[in-house]
Structure 1
């Protein structure tokens, strides 16, 4: 051990934040547990294993600390190990040794650790049979992160191998905890720290509202829900081939898929993801077990017509910038910008791509690593593990149980994998708006014709909707945020607006442009336009003015519907008449129109809508 027993050291910035959070949560909280197990295929010598582990634990300063608070100041004190030894658990006599091992591991990772009183690590060797062992590693996140755990794993495997071969064990490769603290203090006193703060506060000065697919929680979780699946080696090979074609790391395709999913699910043009980083930029940090990892916001701009290649180029640029400023703590940024909630609620999902070389062996015995818990990293976290051991990828989706029930988490997991596979297979010139989010099961369910709606040889969209409104008036028809409209409410609102549009001369073969944010009002306006017999032309207010001007000039709509808040974002060079839906005059006028269905004046062969292509291969073209 490179720091003497009894030595008192300050906390790192990461440790300080964990201490503060744990004091808020209480001692029984286990969300800061970090754990995994290594499946060892072959006959392990328990005596040599314990000898190797004891030697490595003695080398790692971070495993010897306790936290003490005196006069309002928290410090860490180095303690002797005493008579500690790793647990040895023989499960070979159990009826189902693997099930018994899983139960043991689940109980172990659920045990809380007290920062002031407990050892902040635990190890156990589980024997399932003579040729199969699990090595369990458990830590408090205040002393170890995933990168530090990997350093421990490699060192134990190397020492075990040397002992088994009867060769001498060389000096410890680990840096000392005091060196790690000195490097951090030097950073926080440097111009680099000041520059990093300026970078982050400038990039997020507008405090963009997060476009989350789950609600913000009111509590910190005691545990996470998790859905896990694997991408086999062939799929990982396809992902790497696609990355080579894009001249980008394959992790950027994972980030792109997550950003596209968030953009498509919410309609937001600004997406902020959490991106975990090791925050280890020098050799001392990279060879010292401990906790230094950080989670920083990755801000991206997306449009439906954006080509995948353009998005990957943006990700490359932003990730490069983020990496060069990665030592600035997310908690500091949270305070700088006075953001609500705790770290992890402002940006979600977190995308954690861990590509570490886990192809370690114990005197030739192969291993497979399995993660159990990664600590508190966000309310919704996509974790992708590439162990580089020939087993492919492990893809976990973790969620706070308050905000995402298990069945919903499973749906998000399946769709994210669907988008990742689509991104892997698509051409770089293809617009991201063409990616299909639906899984095969969801598509089958959506395309199934409801048995309670008769199939007619000739019908219209308004006709189908009105039939459903008659049969199920009180059923929920549309939900957006906290607003839900029943079929009757939506139908009556659409009818009032349809009568108003008809009074403005709108009818079959006309085109009505809709420049509205995603909301229940947008759905109401689409339905009202269809009820008049006109076709609707959707306009994204966030599109460039040149594109919007081209669409309005080319389609020549009879009327443009928008709001007072959205109108300033639209070009002023078009000559289309505008109706503002939220002015007092319009609101009053709507109340004077009836709520009954308009007399149909349209036929099935009348146009329903006009959609413009992305224009990635030239001028955008309108398709009826």
Structure 2
């Protein structure tokens, strides 16, 4: 530990945002748990492993803190950890050790951690057999992110290897918690912070609406849905080869596939993805375990005739810009733009491509890493893990259970992978509109008409409404803010307005824009447009002017 015990320090910006979010959710919520396990092939010495772990944890300031409120301000107190030990769990006698290990891991990562009372990390060594072990790491996200966890993993592997081989343990390379705080304050006092703020507020001054394919959650659940699959090393090699031909990092193909999927699924010509970044701006931050990660919006314009090469070029420009301005917190941007608070981020889905060198070994024993939880999801997160260990890719799709079922999640996951595989084989000059989202089975199901399908009646919506007027003319049809209209009154008002529309030349194939608040007048106007034979375009008067202008330019209404 580099910071003296009992020292009281301010929170980093990332910690403060997690603290605020957790206070809204209440104690006992487990969504801010971060966890993974490392599969170790070979015989591990548990005593030496624990010795290595104790040495490493002693040098990680972030693991020594608890959070306190002092005079209305939240701070972190560095404390002595006292006696703690590595949990050793022997599952080798279980009928199915791997299944037993999965149950143990699921239970462990689901346990909440109290920022004010609990130790904010936990480790366990699970023995599945003589030469098979799982090392579990669990943290509260307020003290550790995925990058920080990787730093700890590498250091424990190095120290364990030295102990097994009888070599001296090299000095710790880690920076201190004070170093992280100093680096952050230096950034916030710099011109770079001012420039970053100007960049983000200008780029999103029109407060664009997020592109949603599963809706937006209203609550934070106790758990998230996850669908996981693997991509074989041969496919990863093909993905990398395709990226080399296009002269871009392979992660750009993942981003492109996600953007295309949103565009094709929603029809949106502008998509906004959340892109996680390490937000570690200097060498001190890059060698100090802790939490600093940030999720920033990546805005892309695309049309069916946009070529893959054009899209990759735009992604390259935007990602480079985002990287130059990654120190600015997404939460600060949300406040700058006066956007409503949402669960997770205000843009979704999040595309998280994690390509870290996990090819670590413990005294020659090979390892494979597996993610268990990465913190708050929001509505949808597409996570692609490249451990660079020769095992290919792990592809997760995480979703909020309030807005997505297991079946829907599996469908989105399958189609995202379909688009990724299509992007992998496309020529840069091909338009993205040619990408097929459906499998052969799905297309056959859509094109096949069942024999017992009921026949549609020869009527229209205005016709159905008029039949209702004839049957219940004096019944109440619509109520809003204490006033209402009967079916007869609604029909008469809608007819008068429809005649006005027709007199203005409105008819079939036309669009009429309606900028009205939620009211009886809006219902009258909607019905009148349909009676005139046209289609309506509802415009929310609360939308930013730039968004309204875009909608009008895109729809080109007749009135």
How would you bin the TM-score normalised by the shorter chain?
0.7 to 0.9
C-alpha distance in structure 2 between counterparts of 1:18 and 1:288, whole Å: 19
User: Comparing 246-255 with 370-379, which one deviates more in the overlay?
Assistant: 370-379
Given the superposition, is the C-alpha separation of residues 71 and 365 from structure 1 closer, same or farther in structure 2, using an over 3 Å criterion? same
What does the per-residue CA deviation read over 1:15-49, in whole Å, with 9 as the maximum and x for residues that have no partner?
00001111111111000000000000000000110
User: Within 5 A, what are the aligned runs for 1:150-549?
Assistant: 150-342=150-342, 344-452=344-452, 468-470=455-457
**Unaligned stretches of 5+ residues in structure 2:** 465-506, 515-524, 535-559
Give the 3-state SS of the residue equivalent to 2:35 in structure 1: strand
State whether structure 2 residue 548 is matched by structure 1 residue 561: no
Quick check: 1:271–1:299 contact (8 Å CA) kept in 2?
yes
1:86 shift after superposition: 1.0
CA gap of 1:585–1:28, structure 2 versus 1, over 3 A, is closer
**Distance change (3 Å), C-alpha of 1:207 and 1:373:** same
Tell me, yes or no, if structure 1 residue 125 matches structure 2 residue 128.
Answer: no
- 3-state SS, counterpart of residue 66 of structure 1: strand
CA contact (8 A) 1:564 1:583 kept: no
Relative distance call for 1:398 and 1:587 in structure 2 (3 A) is closer
1:429 to 1:565, Cα distance in 2 relative to 1, 3 A: farther
User: Partners of 1:159 and 1:589 in 2: how far apart?
Assistant: 78
Q: Which has the larger radius of gyration?
A: 1
Partner-residue secondary structure (3-state), 2:144? coil
CA separation in 1, counterparts of 2:151 and 2:59? Answer: 12
How far residue 416 of structure 1 moved from its aligned partner, in angstroms, is 0.4
- Partner secondary structure for residue 456 of structure 2: helix
Runs (4+) of structure 1 moved beyond 2 Å? Answer: 341-345, 487-493, 559-566, 582-591
- Relative distance call for 1:137 and 1:587 in structure 2 (3 A) is closer
Tell me: CA distance 1:85–1:585, structure 2 relative to 1, closer, same or farther (3 Å): closer
Query: Does the C-alpha gap of structure 1 residues 310 and 87 become closer, same or farther in structure 2, counting only changes over 3 Å?
Result: same
Distance 1:75 1:452, change over 3 A: same
Please say if residues 219 and 343 of structure 2, whose CA atoms lie closer than 8 Å, have aligned partners that are also in contact.
Answer: no
Give me the whole-angstrom Cα distance separating, in 1, the residues matched to 2:531 and 2:92: 78
Is residue 2:7 matched to residue 1:7? yes
- CA distance in 2 between counterparts of 1:562 and 1:196 reads 44
CA distance in 2, matches of 1:343, 1:286: 28
Aligned-pair CA distance for 1:345:
4.2
Q: Any residues of structure 2 matched to 1:63-74 within 5 Å, and which?
A: 63-74=63-74
Q: Which has the higher contact order (CA 8 A, sep 6+)?
A: 2
C-alpha separation in 2, matches of 1:75 and 1:377: 26
Q: Is the 8 A contact 2:15 2:291 kept in 1?
A: yes
Q: TM-score, normalised by structure 1?
A: 0.75
| TM-score normalised by structure 2 residue count | 0.84
1:135-154 equivalences in 2 (<5 Å): 135-154=135-154
Deviations 1:101-124 (CA, angstroms, capped at 9, x unpaired): 111100000000000000000000
Check whether the contact 1:65–1:77 (CA below 8 A) recurs between aligned residues. yes
Please state how far the C-alpha of 1:346 moved relative to its aligned partner.
1.6
Distance 1:342 1:15 in 2: 18
TM-aligned CA deviation for residue 561 of structure 1: 3.3
Backbone CA RMSD of aligned residues: 2.2
CA distance 1:490–1:119, change in 2 (3 Å): same
Change (3 A) 1:565 1:86: same
For residue 48 of structure 2, what is the aligned residue in structure 1? 48
* Cα offset, 1:222, TM superposition: 1.9
SS at structure 1 position matched to 2:160: helix
Do the aligned partners of residues 585 and 384 (structure 1) sit closer, same or farther apart at CA in structure 2, a change above 3 Å counting? closer
**For the structure 1 residues 468 and 170, does the alpha-carbon distance in structure 2 shift closer, same or farther, using more than 3 Å as the test?**
same
Contact 1:212–1:349, Cα closer than 8 Å, also in 2: yes
Q: How many pairs does the alignment contain?
A: 485
